A = this chain, B = another copy of it.
Amino acid sequence: MSAKPALRLDAEEIAAFLNDVYPGAMENFSIEDVQPMSARIRMPFKPWRLRPGGTISGPSLMALADTGLWVALLGMIGREPLSVTSHLDIDFLRKPAPADVIAHTTLHKLGRRLAVGDVIMYSDGEDRPCARASVTYAIPSSYAGPSS
Contact = CB atoms under 8 A, between A and B. Distances in A.
Copies of this chain per assembly: 4
Contacts of A60: 59
Contacts of A118: 118, 132
5 contacts: A2-B128, A53-B82, A93-B108, A108-B120, A109-B129
B128 A148 contact: yes
A123 interface: no
Interface of A: 2, 21-22, 51-53, 58-60, 62-63, 66, 82, 84-95, 108-109, 113-114, 116, 118, 120, 126-129, 132, 134, 136, 138, 148
Max chain B Cβ within 10 angstroms of own Cβ: one of A60, A62, A113: A62
Given A108-B129, A132-B134, 8 more contacts: A2-B127, A22-B51, A58-B66, A62-B88, A84-B95, A87-B92, A88-B90, A113-B138
